[in-house]
A and B are shown apart, each in its own frame.
Chain A
Amino acid sequence: MKNVIELKDLTKDYGNGRGIFDISLNIAEGEMVGFAGTNGSGKTTTIRHIMGFVKPTSGAAYVYGKEAWKHSSEFVRKIGYVPGEIAFPDFATGTAFLKSRAEYLGVRDMSYAEKLIERLQLDPSASLKRMSKGMKQKTAIVAALIGDPEILLLDEPTTGLDPLMRSAFIDIIKEEHARGKTIFMSSHMFEELEATCDRVALIANGRIADIVSLDEIRHPARREYKIEFKSPEDYNRFKGLGYEIVRDQPQYSQVTVSIGSNDLNNLFSDLTAFDIRFISEVKYNLDTYFRKRLNKNLEKETEEYVQ
């Protein structure tokens, strides 16, 4: 499959360690890639390079094989972009802004825009200046999708949206993804990325720290179960069975065991001989994955330092 977006050793050095450094990432046609990282880690800077707003210090961003800084005018209409900091042009109302956007893109049929407006419960007739953060965000989303673009670049698109709108937005993005759009989305909400993305890149201090395929997260080879026993005796007896214990909390008579999915039956038949209070699966998700991963990196750095 061909790559729609390619970042090759993209570097923008703002001095004092700020900026982005050697970012390399390919996004294939129809793929949805998430972008996670703290404020100031370089997410927005990277996305702005893809739009061709910024000239890289070295390396380059390519869209359809064209270098973004030099040739963005050739592909910018194919990108639906929701910026991280929204600054609308000077139009009186949301409707006026959306109309001008549609004209610029040569969109005649407004039925898709109207459908989006209805799903996001947006009243675009309101004054652009007086809109709340949530309404501005919705207007920006509609403006990005209005021309049915092939690529979506979304920089924290759900900030300011309430839970209902967030879920409506996620459904829209899932549909766009299913229709074959190429999507790159940054977000602070891991659940959001987990629900939508094929892969997620983690950026820390301007560098890609990790890229993970969501299949690995959704279908882990081993799973963890937390079990609490009614008596310390049962708890101790269970520990004698030789399960791999990843967390031990004697004060609550609790253990967390890690097992392969084939061993689940054995666990249940062993448990019939015990008096338990509860058993539940410890969910493996993007949040736990990245936390573990970052801790490991930290340990590695410390080790190197010690050596």
Chain B
Amino acid sequence: MSVIEVEHLTKDYGSGRGVFDVSFHVDSGEVFGFLGPNGAGKSTTIRHLMGFSRPDCGQARILGKESFGKYHQILGRVGYIPGELALPAALTGWEFLRMMQDMHGKHNDELLTKLLRMFELDPSGRIRHMSFGSKRKLAVVSAFMNDPEVLILDEPTSGLDPVMQQVFIDYIKNEKKRGKTILLSSHIFSEVDATCDRIAIIKDGKIVSDFIADDLKHAEMKNYRIVFSCQEEYSRFCRTARTVSFLSQLEGKPSECAVVVSVHDSHINDFVSLISGFSVTGFEHLKVTLEDYFMSYYKEDKDFGGALTR
């Protein structure tokens, strides 16, 4: 069953801004990653799911209920971390947490204490005086403290240090085991890589890719970078490579005596025997990372936009 559904969602803010015909769904117990640069439409989509905004056409649904019309039936079952925090500055952290508990009518102090300890947050000070990281932690704790069945997280770890990011990842993994349905938008690829089952990439308000995370990790064609001891060995390899069927050369850098080749897993032993005949000083498997994959969707902008030259 799909717990989170977005169907042909369109919100046109004019001058090409907004989201256009966005469709995806997150099944029960699934963690769904939502990637895209700032301004691509991640937060707009998420805010429609939360019922904050009325779509021009299409709709967003959570637990089968249409978000904009029935948000009051949904909010109590959803934990939400907004991308831009706007917390009541005059309250203390405690006052804020108590207020949120009262609003939801749930007071799970055991879980709250556990979360405060896990995220090393002391909520006794006024929010006004909290650092950016502490405010983030406060939002994280308040989204999790009622143990909601759906989590909608918009860049939840921006500003948290690597130790806290790891705590966060571990918590999400555990929530996933407990059957929670999670939508995670993030700029941090390692976090998405570690937690998500499926990933969608949004660009200029449109979904450009929707794929299963493991497919990327277990690609059977692999790229390797090999560095040779000298120019002669490099040239000899390049000549040989042309005659070998199981290998294709993607790149050659004579100045560094280095090549990049692509080999299917089934030929790894042939590949090793081939290399053993050369004098090699470096060998590296170039993993196709989520980051590479993500960047490939934006490469065009880099080449033509000028503003993003690498």
Contact = CB atoms under 8 A, between A and B. Distances in A.
Interface of A: 37-40, 84-85, 118-121, 132-134, 156, 159-168, 171, 188, 190, 225, 261, 264-265, 268-269, 271-272, 274-281, 283
Contacts of A166: 187
B64 interface: no
A160 B159 contact: yes
Contacts of B291: 163
B281 A85 contact: no
B280 A277 contact: no
Contacts of B36: 162
B163 A272 contact: no
Interface string B79-103: 0000110000000000000000000
A268 B275 contact: yes
B189 A163 contact: yes
Nearest to A38: B161
A6 to B, nearest CB: 27
B275 to A, nearest CB: 5
Given A167-B295, A168-B308, 19 more contacts: A39-B160, A85-B132, A120-B307, A121-B307, A121-B308, A132-B38, A156-B159, A159-B159, A162-B187, A164-B298, A165-B37, A167-B310, A171-B310, A188-B161, A188-B165, A261-B281, A277-B268, A278-B222, A278-B265
B283 A281 contact: yes
A277 B187 CA distance: 33
A20 B33 CA distance: 38
B133 interface: yes
B255 interface: no
B269 A276 contact: yes
A168 B269 contact: no
Contacts of A164: 37, 295, 298, 301, 308
Nearest to A287: B162
12 contacts: A85-B131, A159-B159, A161-B38, A162-B36, A162-B37, A168-B309, A188-B162, A264-B280, A264-B281, A264-B283, A265-B276, A276-B268
Contacts of B275: 268
Contacts of B158: 133, 159-160
B285 interface: yes
Contacts of B278: 265
Nearest to A164: B37
B267 to A, nearest CB: 11
B1 interface: no
Closest 6 CB pairs of A and B: A280-B285, A162-B37, A268-B276, A38-B161, A269-B276, A39-B161
B265 A277 contact: yes
A46 to B, nearest CB: 15
Contact of A171 (B38, B283, B309): B309
Interface residues of B, number: 45
Interface of B: 36-38, 83-84, 131-133, 158-165, 187, 189, 222, 265, 268-269, 272-273, 275-276, 278-285, 287, 291, 294-295, 298, 301, 306-310
Contacts of B265: 277-278
B40 to A, nearest CB: 8
Contacts of A278: 222, 265, 268, 285
B226 to A, nearest CB: 10
Nearest to B270: A272
Contacts of B131: 39, 85
A119 B307 contact: yes
A304 B78 CA distance: 49
B268 A279 contact: yes
Contacts of B279: 265
Contacts of A132: 38, 83-84
Most buried by B among A39, A264, A269: A39
A265 B38 contact: no
B287 to A, nearest CB: 8
B308 A167 contact: yes
B272 A271 contact: yes
A156 B132 CA distance: 12
A85 B134 CA distance: 12
A278 B272 CA distance: 10
Contact of B307 (A168, A225, A265): A168
A277 B159 CA distance: 40
B308 A162 contact: no
A84 B161 CA distance: 13
Given A85-B131, A272-B276, A275-B269, A163 B187 contact: yes
A52 B248 CA distance: 58
A14 to B, nearest CB: 14
A6 B161 CA distance: 26
B204 to A, nearest CB: 12
A267 to B, nearest CB: 9
A35 to B, nearest CB: 13
A265 B280 contact: yes
Contacts of A37: 161
Contacts of A281: 283-285
Contacts of A168: 307-309
B128 to A, nearest CB: 12
Q: Which of A120, A171, A261 has the most CB of B within 10 A?
A: A261
A38 B309 contact: no
Nearest to A160: B158
A163 B159 contact: no
Given A162-B187, A279-B268, A39 B285 contact: no
A215 to B, nearest CB: 16
Contacts of B281: 261, 264
